[in-house]
Structure 1
Amino acid sequence: MKNQTALIVSSSLLFSQLAGATTVEFWTAQTQTDRMQTIELLASTFEALYDGVTVKVVPVDENEMATQMAAAVAAGTTPQLIEVNSEIIMAFGEEGIVNTKVHDSVVADIGKERFHKGALTTLTSPDDQYYGLPYHGWIQGIWYRKDWFDEKGLAAPNSWENIETAAKMLTDKSNNQYGILIGTKQDSYTEQVFTQLALSNNAAEFDSKGSLVFNSPATLETIEFYKKLSEYNPPGPQNWRARDYYLQGKMGMFFYSTYIMDDLALAEVAKGSLTSENFKELSGGTFDPDLVKNTAFAPIISHKSAASYGTLSGLVALKTSSMAQSDATKDFIEFMYDPASYITFLHMAPGGMNPMLKGIAEDPAYLDDPNGVFKLYGADKMKQIVSGFDDIRSFSVVEGMTFPESGEIFAKSVIPRMLYSVTIEDESPKKALDAAEQEMKAIVAQ
């Protein structure tokens, strides 16, 4: 901890000092005790560098953020800064309570080109205002056996054609080997995989005017492609757990988020996927220390457009009548983006918290994470992994407009149930799509 403090202080000595006393109240969604300790360390370091400024760190459960903010707005006690997910950020932006001038100033100081384009666009309003500043997130894509791909002369699975070709060529059912893993259970993993493919085909749930447009030729084509891919999936309804096939050398590629990184790199973490307990078709195996070296990642899938899928959280300055508070908030945000501070924060959850600024993922200090994972991937792979944030998209935000109904559709598993009926129950894609649309209309009408 002392070394972290020294590193942060030494890298921040050039920050300007603020005159006068002021308080920045910072609400963070990181409520775990160990994470709060790290954030308190960062706040204390900032206070040591900026005379007269106090940072009050307040943990707020993300599920309670909107309710507590509404109460604070009504009472006139809003914080100066929050850290929360993108959906809540956009909602607060539409309510008019965010300080976009501070965000503009931070982007200008750091450099717009430093941010991953898709991440910054996700938090941009229809009239090009920054409702928040992207800070961390995870990205999904296809993890694949690059050594197998090279042996068979296969191109990286970054397009529909390449994915289908590789899935077919790498499937050998007689030897219990499968080309790909996609979700076919009625759960969130299935929706996450489908969403990335759908977005790459320009399919959507809503248009920018809020009209439901899910039942479209683009969505139907995606469902039909999804059904094709399921032919190269392990048998039966599957979800993320079937990653065991990959870790036991029985699968060519699978969709997963960056949370899988330690499983591929560390024997202790991987052991839960090396047994026969989860699948009777698997006999278990030993950890392959070369798996991380032989694994590559395709974060962006292209068909009619390029798309990646993931989640991100950002920093949001809120409106205040105090110029001193506004200035202090801006300085604290920029301190949090300083490499030493930023890396300290991101290392609270290696793989789960990835940087939104270009160059951080290759920084030697970032590669030296507490679990020793990132060094096993190396700077080039880490850069490739976070490049997915350049094209990150979602169903819930369209051209800067947010649609909370998308979250309700997600909560009721409309899409996973639709895909289950097609891939497991052999329902026709058109009939399943029509039924899903009717469910969505009912949800929107509520």
Structure 2
Amino acid sequence: MRKVWMVLFALALGSFGLAQSLVWWTTENQPKRMEVQRQIAAEFTAKTGIKVEVVPVEENQLSERITAAFAAGQLPDVIFHPLDYTVGWAAQGILDTEAATEVVRELGENTFAKGALELASYEGNYTAVPTDGWTQLIVYRKDLFKQKSLYPPKTFAAVLAGIEAFHNPPKMYGFVVATDPSQTYFQQVFEHIALANGVRLVDANGNITLNTPAMVHTLQFYKKLAEASPPGNLYWKQSRELYLAGKALQIVWSPFILDELAGLRDSVPVTAFGNPTSDELAKRTGFLAKLAGPDNPSGASYAQISYMGITVDADTANAKKFVKFLLTDGYLEWLSVAPEGKFPVRRGTPDDPQKFVNGWAKLPVGVDRKRPLGDIYPPEVIKTILEGLDVADRWGFRAGYGELVGKLYGEKTIPKIVRRYLDGELTAEQAAAEMQKAVEALK
């Protein structure tokens, strides 16, 4: 009913000749990124006559602000937001899933990465329209693996073979894994490895499923990674520093490391081969989006996807026009905000299936120096990373438990228990049982 009144109100305003307008909330609130978004909005206005107010919002305040706006009946028309919120907001009645589904189908479902759509599925619709994303990567020294004729680290066994062949601290660590339980990075890395071994957070009936043999095996593998890492509490900073220094064989990182490996950021120097501006380390690095454990030979990839949501208070017709514009005429401009981390989840158009992939690969990345990703990395690397979005997965989201995952990330429940296991306070079996109990309490 509230949408009907909003539409009637909008029509009444239109009858008085007032300009149509939309409000777009975005968490891409850095000044340079805001410039790009305001330019996209201006281009849309020039084309349609519909004004767009671009409102920056801190991501850590987004949930609270949306809840308050919903209660007041003053939601923005469009919200740019991460996967973490989208299914929960749909369940709460904040997002117009029918409008989002119409946009996806009008643009062409087959033009989107399959995984990005599946993660946003809810009651037969899509909660929001995927805009961009990234897959977490196994980053490894492919030159050293080839030197010993080792298989790429696509499986737990291959990862361990690399450690066995090259672990020689402090000159070379076989792996640098997350061990600091205060860091979200720990949850991301552990979830990635658990997914790879087939560990699910919940089953089809909504039951927590962490106290399993697959989880025990995952914990045992993770401990071997920790034993091949430096001592202390480690997170993304140490893994990146040691890899860029040539002292780590394998790490887990997001694609945001792609420009850094090529020596394009002075604040993050590559010291492995003397010249900090060289792309030598990039050339010697391999990337894998998919990892497989012994309990899940098909493997899995971990992804973070972002979406444009159309709200229940929106001027639906015009909001749909804007989201469609952003995913077509404005799409490459949108991806240019941060090409190394904004991978195109819409690959192209029905007439040109690779249009946006090809255009994205030519976008410059870097800070102090800029180069297109396609000039730094061969096509097979780009293909590997993009294909990870087709099989992208996360704990709980497909089963509709995104809100529970949000609690896990907020409270660091899993990392705290894993750390106790790594410190010898718990056995792997006890740790799996503790996880089961703790997550059931959160549910």
CA-based RMSD of the aligned residues comes to 2.7
Is 2:115 the counterpart of 1:100?
A: no
Aligned residue number for residue 318 of structure 2:
328
Contact kept, 8 Å, 1:362 with 1:380, in 2: the verdict is no
- Report how far residue 207 of structure 1 moved: 3.0
One-letter code of the match for 2:100?
Answer: H
CA gap 1:227/1:426 in 2 versus in 1, 3 angstroms = farther
Aligned residue number for residue 402 of structure 1:
401
Aligned residue number for residue 342 of structure 2:
353
SS state at 1:41 partner: helix
SS state at 2:151 partner: coil
* CA–CA separation in structure 2 for the residues paired with 1:195 and 1:370: 28
Contact kept, 8 Å, 1:98 with 1:131, in 2: the verdict is yes
One-letter code of the match for 1:203?
Answer: V
- Report how far residue 203 of structure 1 moved: 1.2
Given candidates 195, 201, 208, the residue that maps to 1:205 is: 201
One-letter code of the match for 2:109?
Answer: K
Given candidates 167, 180, 185, the residue that maps to 2:180 is: 185
Is 2:315 the counterpart of 1:318?
A: no
Aligned residues: 410
Aligned residue number for residue 390 of structure 1:
390
SS state at 1:156 partner: coil
Contact kept, 8 Å, 1:183 with 1:239, in 2: the verdict is yes
- Report how far residue 37 of structure 1 moved: 1.8
Q: Percent identity?
A: 28
TM-score normalised by length of structure 2: 0.84
CA gap 1:290/1:308 in 2 versus in 1, 3 angstroms = same
- Report how far residue 441 of structure 1 moved: 4.0
- Report how far residue 176 of structure 1 moved: 2.4
Contact kept, 8 Å, 1:263 with 1:270, in 2: the verdict is no
List aligned pairs for 1:254-273, cutoff 5 A: 254-266=251-263, 268-269=265-266, 271-272=268-269
One-letter code of the match for 1:148?
Answer: L
* CA–CA separation in structure 1 for the residues paired with 2:355 and 2:160: 34
Given candidates 121, 124, 128, the residue that maps to 2:124 is: 128
* CA–CA separation in structure 2 for the residues paired with 1:242 and 1:320: 44
SS state at 1:64 partner: helix
Aligned residue number for residue 8 of structure 2:
none
* CA–CA separation in structure 1 for the residues paired with 2:33 and 2:442: 37
The superposition leaves residues 259-316 of structure 1 with CA deviations (integer Å, 9 ceiling, x where unpaired) of: 21122011544645649xxxxxxxx955353111111210111231432113221011
SS state at 1:144 partner: strand
Aligned residue number for residue 411 of structure 1:
410
The superposition leaves residues 40-94 of structure 1 with CA deviations (integer Å, 9 ceiling, x where unpaired) of: 11111111111x3222222233333333333333333332211111122111211
Aligned residue number for residue 283 of structure 2:
293
TM-score normalised by length of structure 1: 0.83
Contact kept, 8 Å, 1:134 with 1:315, in 2: the verdict is yes
Aligned residue number for residue 4 of structure 1:
none
Given candidates 228, 233, 237, the residue that maps to 1:232 is: 228
List aligned pairs for 1:83-162, cutoff 5 A: 83-125=80-122, 127-162=123-158
* CA–CA separation in structure 2 for the residues paired with 1:266 and 1:28: 30
The superposition leaves residues 17-36 of structure 1 with CA deviations (integer Å, 9 ceiling, x where unpaired) of: xx995322222222223222
* CA–CA separation in structure 2 for the residues paired with 1:189 and 1:250: 20
SS state at 1:434 partner: helix
* CA–CA separation in structure 1 for the residues paired with 2:356 and 2:148: 31
CA gap 1:271/1:402 in 2 versus in 1, 3 angstroms = closer
Aligned residue number for residue 192 of structure 2:
196
Contact kept, 8 Å, 2:259 with 2:265, in 1: the verdict is no
* CA–CA separation in structure 2 for the residues paired with 1:417 and 1:442: 15
* CA–CA separation in structure 1 for the residues paired with 2:116 and 2:165: 35
- Report how far residue 157 of structure 1 moved: 1.5
Question: Which consecutive residues of structure 2, in runs of 5 or more, have no partner in the other structure?
Answer: 1-16, 348-353
Aligned residue number for residue 307 of structure 1:
300
- Report how far residue 378 of structure 1 moved: 4.3
